[in-house]
Structure formats: C-alpha cells, structure tokens
Structure 1
Amino acid sequence: MPSIRFCSTEDGKRLAYALDGDGPAIVFPAWWISHVEKDWEHGPFQEFFGALARHHLVVRYDRIGVGLSDRGRDPKDMTVDRETEHMGALIDHLGLDKCTLFGVSCGGATAITYAERKPSRVRNLILHGSYLRGCSSVEPEVQEALVGLVRASWGVGSKTLASLFTPDHSPQELRRIAAMQRESATGETAAQLLMLGYSADVAALVSGVAAPCLVTHRHRDRVIRFDAGRELAANLPDASFVPLDGTAHAPWEGDSAALLEQIFAFLGTDPSTTEADVFPARNSNENALVRRGEVWTLSFEDAQALLKHSKGLADLATLLANPGEEIAAATLMHQAESAAAPVGSDDVLDDRARSEFRTRVQAIDEDLEEARSFNDLGRIERLEQERDAILSELRVATGLGGRSRKLKDPAERARKAVSARIRESIQRIAEAHPAAGEHFAAAVRTGAFCCYEPKSSVNWRL
C-alpha cells in the first residue's frame, strides 16, 4: 500500500495524497471521484500504478470534497482554476521542480491549465480519455440525464456510471465499483463534479502549452467520445495521438499493457532497466510465477511476461509447486484436498446454485428496465445476453417437471474442464513468452490426473 499523507491548500483545506515508487515524478491531477485508500484495493488499478512506480515517483490525490480529503466544499468553489491551485499546492509541498502530468478524463483540463501557466515546471503531458471542451465531449442530453440521475438517486446513478466506465466488467465488479463511488463522495458532490467536468473548456489555453504531449483514447470509450480525444491532440502544439482498442474509460482497465507500452516509449523509460524491482530479492536467472492482484508475472530464462489471471494459471502454479506429483483434475477444479473422484451422480446445478441463478435473473430484469428507460442500447444488449445464457443453463440443468438432471461422471467433467483451461493458459503463455510456452507444453501432462514433469529439475518461486 503506498504511503498516504496530507498537505494544506492555500484556502486552508487538507488534501490527501498517495506516494509510490522513486524516480522522475508523475503527478495525476484528480479525476472525477477517487479514494486514495480504496482505489488501491482494485487489482487492475494496483497493477497499472505499480508498473509506473517501478520507474517513477507516482503521485495521486483526492480532490477536495471526495475520498480522504476534506469533504466540505462550496459548489461555487468547484472550478478548474481552483483545481489547478490545489494541484499546484501539492507539487510545491513535495518540492517537485519538474514533473510529468498525467491527466485522466476531466483531469486533463487541470493538467493543461497548469502546463500553460507553469511551463517551466512541466516536463511532459500525458492525456488519456480527455477532451478540449467538456460541453462537446458527450451529447448535451446525456450530460443532463446523468447529472440529474446522480442527484436524484446516487445508488442508481453510481451503477449507471460504473457500467459506462467499464462496460465489459461482470455484474459483481460493477457493483463493487458503484459502491466505491458512493463511499468516495456524496451524490450531490458527485453531481457537482460531473457538471464541473462538462463545463471545463481549455480551448483558449492549448496553444500556450509548450511541453511534449501524448494523447491516448480508446475507440469505443462510452464516457468521452473518441473524436474528443482526436480534437484535443490536433490542437496541442506538440502532441502525438495514439488510438487504442477497447471500451474502458479508465487507463488501468482493459488492455492497460498496451497503454503502458506507449507511455514508457513516450517518456523514454526502458521497462527492463529496473525489472529487478518486481522481485527485489530474486536472482537474474530465477524462474517465477507469482500472482499480484489480477496479474501473474512469469519469469523464465531471463525474460518476463505479464498475464491476466485465469483459473488455468492458478492450476499451473499448483502443479509447479508439486513437481512430479500427479494431482487429480477434480482437486484442481475444486481447490480441495486430493481425493478419488466418486462414482455416482451429482446434480448439474444444486438447489443453491439454481436459487442464485434465479435471483440473478430477477436482478437483470430490474437492470434491464432501468437501461431501457435511458435507452442504453449497449447495456441492454449485454444484460439480455447474460439473461439468455443463465436461462439456457437452467433449461439444460432441469428436466421435465423441473427435476434436476444428473451428471453421470463428475471426474470426467473435471478432466475436460481442467485440461482445457490449462492448455488455453499454456497457449497464452506461448504467445507472450515463447520459451516458457514451449517448456510447459513439453513438461505439463493433463487428463484425469495432471502433472508437471520437466526433463530436468527446474526451481520455481511461487
């Protein structure tokens, strides 16, 4: 967990900020709402900022009114000028002579304003999912609807915005994000800050920005339209524009590895120069498969790759921890003590699972009603697909008269599922790290019993 500290602003407010890493400083102007403590609990967030902190001093903070900063704030005081003053106070407090500013979404307006006013203090600008004029970043009727919804019902509003920020997330993850938003700010503050973002306009300032700038934007961003990012890059004097694939608005969501590659190239950072920071105590030739949050770091034969978490990678780690030992697929599937698979029959879905499925269908129906009221076509399509999939599973699992169907051989089910997910993970490894992929393809045996059997002994840190 990065160190959380406080500084005072010129208007007597206490600003909470977090520091992580060492090296040339990257300061993140505050985005819509944040929480310097709770944000770190999210795996992708931790991995993204952790990757930057291996090479840089990373500074992020909660704007006044949200998170761990002082909550009381007059709506009349919510201006880009005041936001810029608060960030400047933090930069002065830290004694940073020069830094890179990384503006995310509405934080871009603060970054541009500071860079235009304090050119000698800004080394580079990175702007992701940002815009020139907030009023043209989203259709006016959408702006009005979102602000009104957040103000009228922060519960429904937070769920709606979470689905816009990360439309590809699971329902459970969307609920987590919505809950974090509600913990970080009141509904009225959240609404006022949305209005601040939509009213921000830096069109008159961009021509005065001297710092080199990297502008990145995902093609299918549903929060800030893609053309807003293109317009921003076109108006900055020294900007490179990098379109990215994906739907996620926040830089740490989606394919963050592709974004980090662009960031490091722009800053002239060689990620391999401080690779030892990932495993400070390891030897250069040590092999490792270590999970941090939702990312696995694989080190093999002096090369490294980052892989998104999957059950197959977890299975593989279990096999590496027990070289030469046969482990039942059923044990890997259930992550329980190894035991012979029983002969007999089990319900495809037990009573609890069927109840949970039906409860989820009811929740989807409620979310569908809400999505249809806002004509949110993307959300409607995603919810309908999930509903159809659950109902299909229930139909498969239920016979005539609602009787549960039976699986004749649970061991066979485990064999197929575990073998498939291990093979899929080895294929992903081969794409990211060919030498490791070749090694695992030869050394891992799958089936009813799975085993890691390298031709010669290989030590792994797990």
Structure 2
Amino acid sequence: MQSLPEVHFARTDDDVTIGYQIFGNGPVLVWMPSLSNILAQWRIPALRSAYLELARHLTVVLYDGRGMGTSDRRIDLGDLGVDAHLRDLHAVLDAAGIARASLLGYYHSVTTAIAFAARSPGRVDRMVLFGGAPRLREAMRPAQTQALLSLVEQDWGLFADAAATAWLGWDAAPSGRWVAEAFRTATTAPVAKAWFGAAERIDVSDEVGLVRAPALVLHRQGDQQIPVEVFRRLAERLPDARLVELPGSTPTLFIEDAAADLRLVTGFVGGGVVGRPAVVADVLTPREREVLALLAAGDANLEIARRLGIAVHTVERHLANLYRKIGARGRTDAVAYAIRRSRG
C-alpha cells in the first residue's frame, strides 16, 4: 500500500460529518478513536507499520470522532458523552455497509466499545480493550494525567509534546515528533477541553454485564498510569473475557513488542485465539525473579535477605521494583501473580 487509503465521509443522525478509512482484507476490525487524526497518524512509522500488518489479515476501519481530525470540527458539537460517540460509530458502520465487526477500544473509546456491544449485540463479533475503563474518570485519575490535562488550555502545543512522550511513552525521535504533531492537529484546545470534560462524566459500568461478545482485555505490566486492578475488575465483570498482562513498560500497543501485540490482536479477532504472552523473564531482572520466587514460597524480607546474601533494604528495593513492573499493590498480589505464572 503505497498511498494512503481514501478518506470517506459518513453523516450521523444529529448531522455531524465523520471521516473514515477502510482498507485490508478479512474480518472487520474497527480501531476506535481517542484523540485522533487518522491522516497524521499514517506519518508515525510504528502506527503505519501496525496498520499495514493488520491489513494483511483483517479489514481495518479507522475514523476520527466528532471534533477530531478529518471529522466535523465545529466547536458547537453539543454533548460529547458516550451517546454522541455511539452515533459516530453507527454512522461509520452504516456508511461502510458493515453489518458486524470486531472493535478495538483504545483508551477513551473503551467505554464506547462496551456501550455499543451492550446495546447492539448483533453487530459485534469480538472486542479488544486497552487503556480505558467503564468509568472513564478512573483512566484519567493518575496525577500525571491530571497534570497533562491542565496544559490543554494553558498551552496546546506543550500539551501535545508532553502527551506524546510523558503520557504515551513514544521515543523522542522520530516517532515522538510525529505523535505530537498528530495530537496537535487532531483538534483545538476548546474542543479538547469540552471532550475531556465530558469524558470525566462517562460511566458505562451498568452495561458491562450486558456484553455478550468475547473480549480480550490488555494491560501493559509496567504501566502504572492506570492500576492493573482496573483491568482485572473489567475482565471479571465481562461475561466472556480474558485479561492478558503484557510485558514491558510502554503504555501503548504495537510499539514495545509490535510483532507480539499484532499476533495477539489478529489471532483473537481472526479466530478467537489468544496466544501466550512473553514470560515474566522478559519483565523482571534475574534477581527480581529470585526475590519473587522466595516471596511466593512464604519467606519474609529478612529470610529473603539471608538466603540471597543481601541487605534487607536491598530486598525492599527489589520488591518495590517488581511490584511496579507487574502492577501489584503488595505481597498478596505478587504471590498471586507468581502462582498464575507458574501454572501458565
């Protein structure tokens, strides 16, 4: 695919124009938008590679939500809650002639995916959910996120730069610059303020149990922006869901281990297959694995220190590091994690 896919336009039932692209072959996957500009995103090397690889196995649909990118960017778009986002998705599917699709809910659009699957069960095959929560303010609660959101009105350009690097973890060059540009051109500060303000009030918790589509809930183990417990609760409440805790620390997909992420998503969307993620050795250092094994065996910190010939404060440091990497709140979570890994 040398040139970019053509941008088509759909019209919502409240008269908003939505820009979308459709490309590839196979089962349909709708990659739902967060803060997006689908044309600018093709200039990001990692995203372009991900789009092209997905298109080898799937029919991919990208679209910009109202107020974003190629879509209607009027300031007076009214309410930007979940019902508005559902109208955008309905319009795109209908305009593209898509009766059923799988959904990739990404950060902000996780709630839209859940609500659509609950309200239109006959139109959803499977769901992949990453980075969001049914009560969206839970995904926006971390201090780092709140600090970044405070920049929206103060300095839109600085927000875009900071979000690309500090928030989503993209490298400084060249991807980080292109991601920042995609953010910067996605919308305007007034629309973004209204968009994030509405997001704080979105809550589809009551609809989670109504979802019948199989779901794959993904969490990056080293990502502490949103506690892993948020995703565990989501996976437990969905009637047919599996949680996969991915190794690594980058709070996004298709970057840190792009090939593994792509295999996971295409395998699940294409046939419901969930491959084995990378083992814990890819996440923890050898010493951290030793500490975790002794912790799981019931040893106290002092006993671990004696067995390994290190100081207690060194054990405490290793524990703090491994808790952070695996998303554990304390010893109980870490032991449960070690048991799950030993059984896998």
Name the SS of the counterpart of 1:199 in structure 2. Answer: coil
**Separation in 1, partners of 2:132, 2:169:** 18
What's the offset of the Cα at 1:181? Answer: 1.1
Determine the structure 2 residue equivalent to 1:176.
178
Return the match for 2:210 from 205, 208, 211: 208
Of residues 58, 69, 80 in structure 1, which corresponds to 2:71? 69
TM-score by length of structure 2 reads 0.73
- Quote the RMSD (CA, aligned, Å): 2.2
Equivalent in 5, 9, 31 of residue 6 of structure 1:
9
Shift of 1:74: 2.8
Partner of 2:19: 16
Whether the 8 Å contact between 2:46 and 2:175 is mirrored in structure 1 is no
1:141 to partner: Cα distance: 5.1
Further displaced range: 166-175 or 33-42: 166-175
Query: Which residue does 1:238 correspond to in 2?
Result: 240
Tell me how far 1:20 sits from its aligned partner. Answer: 1.0
Q: 1:164 aligns with which of 152, 163, 166?
A: 166
Percent identity of equivalent pairs: 31
The 8 Å contact of residues 44 and 175 in structure 2, kept in 1 or not, is answered as no
CA displacement 1:67-93 (0-9 Å, x = unmatched): 111110436421111101110111112
Tell me, yes or no, if the aligned pair for 2:44 and 2:179 is still in contact at 8 Å: no
Listed as ranges, the gaps of 5+ residues in structure 1 are 272-462
Please tell me whether the aligned partners of residues 148 and 159 of structure 2 are also in contact (alpha carbons under 8 angstroms): yes
Aligned length: 270
Q: Report the equivalent of 1:254.
A: 256
Change (3 A) 1:264 1:88: same
- Say which is worse superposed, 109-118 or 122-131, in terms of deviation: 122-131
Q: How far, CA to CA, are the matches of 1:63 and 1:42 in structure 2?
A: 19
CA distance in 2, matches of 1:255, 1:229: 20
Query: What are the residue-to-residue correspondences of 1:31-110 with 2, within 5 Å?
Result: 31=34, 33-74=35-76, 76-110=78-112
State the one-letter code of the partner of 1:175. R
2:81 touches 2:199 (CA, 8 Å); kept in 1? no
Higher RCO, 1 vs 2 (CA within 8 Å, ≥6 residues apart) = 2
- Work out the CA distance in 2 between the residues paired with 1:250 and 1:54: 21
State the shift of 1:40 in Å. Answer: 0.7
Secondary structure at the counterpart of residue 205 of structure 2: coil
For structure 2, the residue ranges without an aligned partner over 5 or more in a row are 274-344
Matches of 1:54 and 1:231, distance apart in 2? 33
- 1:171 to 1:36, Cα distance in 2 relative to 1, 3 A: closer
TM-score, scaled to structure 1: 0.55
> What amino acid maps onto 1:17 in structure 2?
Y
Query: Deviation digits for residues 93-118 of structure 1, max 9, x if unmatched?
Result: 22212111111111111111110000
Q: Distance in 1 between matches of 2:39 and 2:142?
A: 33
In 2, are the aligned partners of 1:166 and 1:253 still within 8 Å (CA)?
no
Are the aligned partners of 1:220 and 1:226 in contact in 2 as well (CA < 8 Å)? no
User: In terms of mean alpha carbon deviation, does 187-196 or 14-23 score higher?
Assistant: 187-196
Paired amino acid for 2:253: P
Structure 1 residue 263 displacement after superposition: 1.7
Change (3 A) 1:168 1:94: closer
Q: Runs of 4 or more off by more than 6 Å in structure 1?
A: none
